[in-house]
Structure 1
Amino acid sequence: MLKLNNTHEPQTIGTTQKSHITRKTLGVLFAIPFATSAVARAVEEQTQAHKVPTELEIIEVTAQKRVTSLQETPIAISAFSRAMLDDQDIEDAQDIQYAVPNAMVSNNAGYNVRGVGDNAISATADPGLGVHINGVYVTANTIQNEFYDLESIELLRGPQGTLFGRNTTAGVLNSITRKPTDVFEAALTTEIASFNGLRTKGYVNIPLSDAVLQRFAFNTVKRDGYTENVAPNVGFDSIDGRDQFSIRSSTTFDFSENANGFLFAQYFKENSDRAPRTGVLCTSDPLLGCDNATVSSQYPNSDFTDGSLANGALAPTLAALGFATRSDFYNTKLDGSARVNPSDPRKVRQDYQPRFDVEDLLISFEFNYDFGEHVFTSVTAYHDRSSQAFADFDNADGADALFIPQSLLLPEGRTEPTTRYSTARSSESESEQWSQELRFASFKDGPFNYTAGVFYLQYDAESYGKFYQPEMTAIAGALGLPDELALFNFDTPDIATTSWAIFTEAYYDISEDLTLTMGLRYTEDDKEVVTRAISPLSFLDPRFDINNSYVDGEGAWEEFTGKIGLSYSPNLDMTDETLFFGTLSRGYKGGGINPGASDSAFPTFDPEYINALEVGTKNTFAKRSLQANVTVFMYQYDGLQVGGILGDGATFNTNVDADVAGAEFEFLALPMDGLRINLNLALLDSEINEDFFTSPDIADPSGSDPVNLNGKTLTFSPEKSVQFGIQYTHEISSNWEIAYRAQTFWQDEFYSRLYNVPSDKQEGWQQTDVSVTLRDMDDVWEFEVFVKNASDEASITGSSVANSLVGRYRTPLYLDPRTYGVRATYHFN
């Protein structure tokens, strides 16, 4: 019954003078059991008035790589059972942020937990949150895949260095799929929704024998794009559609009374016109393309000179080649009158259709042998992933921009001469990962137990980024270069990471109520990269040698991390169950190699560490009808990895120190039969705490001066957020029941970049979902009507600055629009 995960590690911690938040909430923390006792008595009285008592579900978690209940585990965890995932409509990664305190998922682009995510820009950079499937750490994680046929989801907040290891400074997300059962059963769910949406999912469970059980599951998604393309005569009228499917096989083996195995395989494929970012936010500026101080619905002024190819140092060369554009062609028509640009966030004007193709295969085998007081576990896993993404580089329709027709080069090849100005970008990557974990866990009756193991990972990848611009095509033609050299090429044919670790975590019962936890892990990371950046401009330098254009780099790091914690479970009259816990831990994320590597004065950037103090309490009241959990945390962020984009498009990563502090309140109540209420409150305070001058801001009008990050707020770190849900279920006949649910989420404003300029600040946003579910008591039929984002908010969940080559416009990430539909499920029992 043991699970595998791969995360981060804890150790010692220094002190910090952080936070008004922390001082106040520490008092609240220890007052929770007492402050809620009056509420608990009221709830208990109400509960006793009903003939059928209500009781909260006991959720089992594997956060300590052994099965324990959520309320008995001294870690800040948000855990969702199968029923909770269905009730709260948690269907994909983006839905996680509506249910987990201090978590943000930036439009399925990456996880941020307690202000900790991934700020580095490098092919060798690691994520901050360790994503796992059935305990298997996935380096190139499948964030695009939907959640289906799951037993549970666990999100461990904060560094998890001992048992899970590397790259979990933010925490661990573990999706646990449903295992086969010993009865035949099947189910099919079909959803019809707005935007011509059709989603299906289902499973078939087949007991092949007493010793071998088999389960198959699948999921499909197909819908039109949420965003309308208003550019004429380009051949597509919407973007951001979906066309994807996933299939899964799960097999359990009982080899003997003491030995069992679990073979898991999952394949995912997507061919969509998904766009990572849509739309343009810009206030036109003749120098920079877009002004840095404000944003509006204009496009960059195409006459800009700072960073431009056509209007900068290359202007005489391009003019001699007959390449010339009319003035401000993004914002004006041929007659010079103003061109209408979309101010509606659900509309864009693009002339190159985006595309996103992914294939992903994960295979793992877990073997367990029970020696009585000890269990040996082996987890072997293989992960293969390939992806291609194509997008409009300038996010614009540059129709009738050229005075003289020119041949354009796009990813599909060279076009016939045209007056259209069209750009594109592509990224392609492939990766392969092998991992192996071996561990022993003790289950003795005495006061001392432990888990110990070793972990090994080999990750190999390649990545290619290409940028297509008409200016490059013209220069390459004049130089007589082949098409494959007529663009900006960022080629990384070799990315290799080798990591291994030894770890142990021990648990000692000092008394019946008091337990000491101690953990230690030693990790070694080795990384190598081979890369180059070339373009037609490279060939203007007579010293350039394409045969020696690749540079290589390498880095090696080793680290001890760990944790020490105390948990206390007093027997209080006012509660059914109470746990107090405190933990000192140290998390670690490996360093990386800067683009340019051996040609750079700083070929590598250092690892980042988090020294974390976390204290909390978990409480259950009124015959398990009320639950109140509170956590307070303080982080010293040592060496936060920071990436910047320079004016020429090059990237550079450095390290800086920061403080983070906050508190999380999670309440769950069943005040009466059929009524369920959940409430999450999160507070967060983050700040870079040292003078540190990083690369010049690509969006800054001054453009050349380094920026001091001291006092800046971390990205994706709103100070406050609230989630509230209410669900009422009752019978409408002897065999049918109906459930009404409404849930809303709100978060405060936040910064999308560390520079913290005014245009980096994103307004607070909210999302409200409602649903009505009708199900029969025999668990055969279920029908649901739902609305997501009922108020149709077009809230921005992230923003970045585009390259200076295309005018530095802002690329926003919007919440999905209002969607509504119906679901029908049939269970074959």
Structure 2
Amino acid sequence: MSLASLSLLLLASTAPAPAGALRDDPVAASAKDEQQARPAQESGSGEIVVTARRREEKAQDVPIAMSVIGGSTIEQTGATNLNRLQTSLPAVQFYSSNPRNSAINIRGLGAPFGLTNDGIEQGVGFYLDQVYIGRIGASTFDFVDIERVEVLRGPQGTLYGKNTTAGAINITTRAPSFTPETKVELSLGNYDLISAKASVSGPLSDKLAIRISSAVTSREGTIENVRTGEDLHKQRTSSFRGQLLWKVNDDLDFTLAGDWNLQNPLCCVQYYARVGATQRPLSRQYAALAAAFGYAPPSTDPFDRKTDLDAQIKSRQEIGGASLVANWNLGPATLTSVTAWRYWDWQPKNDRDFTGLPITTISQNPSQQRQVSQELRLSSNGDGRLNYTLGAFFFHQTINTQGSQVQGSAASRWLLNPGNVPPGATGCATATAAACNPLVLNGLTSTNTINFDNTSFALFGKLNWQPVDGLHIQPGLRLNYDKKSGFYEAVVSIHNARYNYVATADNVAALLANGTATADQLNTLAPQRYSPRFSDWNVSGDITVSYDVSRDVHAYATYARSFKSGGINLSGLPLNSTSTGVDLSTQTVKPEKVDHFEIGLKTQFLDRRVTFNTAAFWTEIKDYQATVNNNAINVIRGYLANAGKVRVRGFEWDLAARPSQRLNLYFNGAYTDAKYTDFKNAPCPPELSGGTATAPGGATDPAGTPGGRSPAFCDISGQVLPGISKWSLSWGGEVRQPVGDGNVYLGYDGSWRSRFSSNPSPSAYTWIDAYSLSNVRLGWRRSDLNIYGWVRNVFDKRYFELLSVQSGSTGLVVGQPGDPRTYGLTISKSF
């Protein structure tokens, strides 16, 4: 128990219960019960109670662009995690080449696309029962016993903190109940799917209530490794959550919660998708290199779902934590304390050359995160002319990562230039070429030690002033302090018949000078060591003016000045001109500065049978944190730095209708125009990479010219941000017909997104085409029983979740396909 929570308890035990509204408000409680009984996408109803502004309010009254999806909708649509949930949220993008390398973006903003770097922050805040989750990788757990998911679009920095420049995702689990209840669920499906969930809740006494929830899921893989005979992308998950509610009296309660989640899915593999021309010499591009080894992928059609990866694949992660939430109704206000400790343990293995050749035989970055946080909030009660929320927040996080990368016997020929090759010769035609000698790189190993320490503190406040009936003026302010420190060391070694040494940042120059090591080796895996530091104070704020045009029509306008915390580079730095050191000027990255404008309208009509909410927004970010190259020639490493400016603008809508008690429909959409407005030193796309490097401003050759001249960097100002579809839509509904003491129902959920770039710098080779997905369910349910069959990806649509390029500018493009059609049967029973 935290000191803050203990103080609340001691004060309450000696003071009389103050007067005020009871926390178990029957109106709010009935609204929550109604939410759970509603089918998908009826979250626009004004009766749904949310906590988007750290207090209970009706969703339609909150002047924030938001989506709310209830627990029953999540269960029935099979949206078991955030990746699946995004199909019904057009403004949300979730990308993951593995759990550590995951990103959540809202309206195209949040995190640099495809980058893993322990020293940077996310731009979408992720909260579980009011607890901030400090790493997106720790948000990839399966949903269990969820009451609702709130997705808040646009900056939320005043109430949610420093790293919510794009929005926040607020997950609330079902609370312990003083009414006994039990629910079990079993799902069976193709690919040998077995999923079982159970929850039980009830009173231990008239003051104590408990809830225990658990789930296990097993499914065979959807991708075959023809080399090993093993199926990849299996699902193996186990989850447990326990909560204990102590209701001291009507004005004071404590909730102690703990959760544990284990996943070992044998994912996430990428393999041959296509080949594109680069500016490497033809003999150094994929086709010639593969031919030199007599290699061919098991299929050139990625949707045959076959690969021959020769490295081990593993994505084991363990997530868990504990929290104590205290609420004390003081009459005029409620004091809330949220104390939490969480951990994330990541144990991966990857094949980072994406082929069956022994190029990079080991590539992995096991990582362990620990975090503690404490939040105190004081929120006024009642519906007076002036309401407020005041608070303080403390957060401390540590991350320890142990990286390793090992090159194999094919690495020299695949990665290195062939040296002095005679005219007309191809491949490794000379014995003097380093690329001809496998021993040059075979066994070359980089062992990385990465440490990160982050301490944050904030004071915040939000007012809601109603000078006249219907007009609300809502300013907010947050003061934040960040202190970050890190350590990065890469030690490089090689032990084979020709080479035997260990290179550190201290002895690398001597090893090169005496010929023990070669520049080819230490340019491939560079030893380095540095200890970056960063600290800063930031003030962010927003102001919203809203007007209740009528009981069912609400308009608002918002301006927000927000920021995403500065960071430190912890994935290695670019080499300096001597190739024996690093550019220490790139250790840190400045905070992002965000100016955001938004107008919105929330409406209901036809006796609240139809809800239509819409918003338009314009966001500009200065010092956007992105992956870049420096201005030197022959740089082999990208890193995080500040692009000049990014602009995102668009509009979105949420439409829900209930023409009758037997039919509900929804249609949601988003238009997002996201561009780099100033990014002059961006990494070049693959078709401009791999050739002879030229100095800035020097002559270059057209894209895809074999042996051509490549720019040191590219100006991509005016081009689109990665991962963002200009148009995204979701639609569907459910129809019901009474049969016996229940209802037969048919539900459909569809989504479509236009094409998007899957590379930080747009490339002709990495556009993902537009695609549409359809899910259906047919079943029968009554209040305590639900039996239904389901099909996801009904039309077995072939699509990629992401595309990326093989390092070394060979032209190989690899992809991670989405799930094929799956189907099954689910039975759930409540007692």
Could you tell me how far 1:526 is from its partner in structure 2? 1.1
Distance 2:612 2:667 in 1: 10
Could you tell me how far 1:389 is from its partner in structure 2? 0.9
Does residue 274 (structure 1) correspond to residue 274 (structure 2)? The answer is no
Identity %: 23
SS in 2 for 1:786: strand
1:527 is aligned, of 473, 481, 484, to 484
Distance 2:627 2:781 in 1: 50
2:446 aligned partner: 488
1:731 aligned partner: 738
2:421 aligned partner: none
Superposed CA deviations along residues 621-653 of structure 1, whole A, max 9, x for unmatched, are 112211000111111111211114787652322
Structure 2: runs of 5 or more not aligned: 5-42, 413-433, 495-501, 513-521, 574-581, 692-709
* Residues 271 and 355, structure 2, Cα contact 8 Å, conserved in 1: no
Alignment map for 1:37-52 (pairs within 5 Å): none
1:196 aligned partner: 192
Q: 1:112 to 1:473 in 2, by over 3 A?
A: closer
2:68 aligned partner: 79
Once structures 1 and 2 are overlaid, which stretch shifts more, 586-595 or 342-351?
342-351
* Residues 104 and 111, structure 1, Cα contact 8 Å, conserved in 2: yes
Distance 1:208 1:302 in 2: 71
1:40 aligned partner: none
* Residues 411 and 438, structure 2, Cα contact 8 Å, conserved in 1: no
* Residues 471 and 548, structure 2, Cα contact 8 Å, conserved in 1: yes
Distance 2:770 2:723 in 1: 11
Does residue 709 (structure 1) correspond to residue 716 (structure 2)? The answer is yes
Q: 1:693 to 1:284 in 2, by over 3 A?
A: closer
Could you tell me how far 1:60 is from its partner in structure 2? 1.1
SS in 2 for 1:790: coil
1:426 aligned partner: 364
Alignment map for 1:538-549 (pairs within 5 Å): 539=503, 541-543=508-510
* Residues 279 and 688, structure 2, Cα contact 8 Å, conserved in 1: no
* Residues 256 and 322, structure 2, Cα contact 8 Å, conserved in 1: yes
Alignment map for 1:32-111 (pairs within 5 Å): 56=45, 58-107=47-96, 109-111=102-104
| One-letter amino acid of the counterpart of residue 556, structure 1 | S
Could you tell me how far 1:580 is from its partner in structure 2? 0.4
1:652 is aligned, of 631, 639, 643, to 639
Distance 2:469 2:372 in 1: 42
* Residues 189 and 202, structure 1, Cα contact 8 Å, conserved in 2: yes
1:552 is aligned, of 520, 531, 534, to 531
1:689 is aligned, of 665, 677, 680, to 677
| One-letter amino acid of the counterpart of residue 130, structure 2 | G
Superposed CA deviations along residues 16-50 of structure 1, whole A, max 9, x for unmatched, are xxxxxxxxxxxxxxxxxxxxxxxxxxxxxxxxxxx
Structure 1: runs of 5 or more not aligned: 5-53, 292-298, 305-325, 333-338, 399-419
Q: 1:279 to 1:243 in 2, by over 3 A?
A: farther
1:303 aligned partner: 289
Could you tell me how far 1:441 is from its partner in structure 2? 0.9
1:561 is aligned, of 540, 546, 549, to 540
Cα root mean square deviation, aligned = 3.0
Q: 1:330 to 1:85 in 2, by over 3 A?
A: same
Distance 2:657 2:813 in 1: 43
Could you tell me how far 1:170 is from its partner in structure 2? 1.4
Does residue 123 (structure 1) correspond to residue 109 (structure 2)? The answer is no
| One-letter amino acid of the counterpart of residue 381, structure 1 | A
* Residues 404 and 446, structure 2, Cα contact 8 Å, conserved in 1: yes
Q: 1:198 to 1:255 in 2, by over 3 A?
A: same
1:824 aligned partner: 827
1:367 is aligned, of 313, 318, 326, to 326
Alignment map for 1:343-358 (pairs within 5 Å): 343-358=302-317
2:553 aligned partner: 578
Q: 1:815 to 1:782 in 2, by over 3 A?
A: same
Alignment map for 1:235-250 (pairs within 5 Å): 235-250=228-243
1:794 aligned partner: 798
| One-letter amino acid of the counterpart of residue 431, structure 1 | Q
Q: 1:421 to 1:514 in 2, by over 3 A?
A: closer
Could you tell me how far 1:302 is from its partner in structure 2? 6.3
* Residues 555 and 601, structure 2, Cα contact 8 Å, conserved in 1: yes
1:205 aligned partner: 201
2:403 aligned partner: 465
Distance 1:343 1:751 in 2: 18
Distance 1:698 1:117 in 2: 24
Could you tell me how far 1:754 is from its partner in structure 2? 3.0
* Residues 508 and 516, structure 1, Cα contact 8 Å, conserved in 2: yes
Distance 2:732 2:162 in 1: 35
* Residues 597 and 619, structure 2, Cα contact 8 Å, conserved in 1: yes
Distance 1:161 1:639 in 2: 18
2:166 is aligned, of 164, 170, 178, to 170
| One-letter amino acid of the counterpart of residue 240, structure 2 | I
Superposed CA deviations along residues 413-460 of structure 1, whole A, max 9, x for unmatched, are xxxxxxx76723112000100000111111245311111111010000
SS in 2 for 1:86: helix
Which structure has more relative contact order (CA 8 Å, sep 6+)? It is: 1
| One-letter amino acid of the counterpart of residue 210, structure 1 | D
* Residues 590 and 608, structure 1, Cα contact 8 Å, conserved in 2: yes
Does residue 377 (structure 1) correspond to residue 336 (structure 2)? The answer is yes
Does residue 667 (structure 1) correspond to residue 655 (structure 2)? The answer is yes
Distance 1:541 1:788 in 2: 55
Q: 1:302 to 1:616 in 2, by over 3 A?
A: same
Could you tell me how far 1:800 is from its partner in structure 2? 2.1
1:258 aligned partner: 251
Superposed CA deviations along residues 111-133 of structure 1, whole A, max 9, x for unmatched, are 11101021155221111111110
Superposed CA deviations along residues 534-588 of structure 1, whole A, max 9, x for unmatched, are 3237739453699x953111111221101001110122xxxx5111011101221
1:439 aligned partner: 377
* Residues 393 and 467, structure 1, Cα contact 8 Å, conserved in 2: no
1:785 aligned partner: 789
Distance 1:259 1:348 in 2: 58
Q: 1:695 to 1:86 in 2, by over 3 A?
A: closer
Could you tell me how far 1:281 is from its partner in structure 2? 3.1
Superposed CA deviations along residues 721-758 of structure 1, whole A, max 9, x for unmatched, are 1111021011112x121110111100111112231121
* Residues 508 and 517, structure 1, Cα contact 8 Å, conserved in 2: yes
SS in 2 for 1:95: helix
1:754 is aligned, of 760, 763, 771, to 760
Distance 2:470 2:278 in 1: 66
| One-letter amino acid of the counterpart of residue 182, structure 2 | A
2:725 is aligned, of 714, 718, 729, to 718
Q: 1:89 to 1:237 in 2, by over 3 A?
A: closer
* Residues 191 and 199, structure 1, Cα contact 8 Å, conserved in 2: yes
Does residue 810 (structure 1) correspond to residue 768 (structure 2)? The answer is no
SS in 2 for 1:798: strand
Could you tell me how far 1:717 is from its partner in structure 2? 1.6
Distance 1:122 1:373 in 2: 45
SS in 2 for 1:694: coil
* Residues 684 and 761, structure 2, Cα contact 8 Å, conserved in 1: no
Distance 2:410 2:310 in 1: 18
| One-letter amino acid of the counterpart of residue 630, structure 1 | T
Could you tell me how far 1:706 is from its partner in structure 2? 1.0
Alignment map for 1:21-36 (pairs within 5 Å): none
Once structures 1 and 2 are overlaid, which stretch shifts more, 64-73 or 708-717?
708-717
1:642 aligned partner: 626
2:515 aligned partner: none
SS in 1 for 2:275: coil
* Residues 795 and 814, structure 1, Cα contact 8 Å, conserved in 2: yes
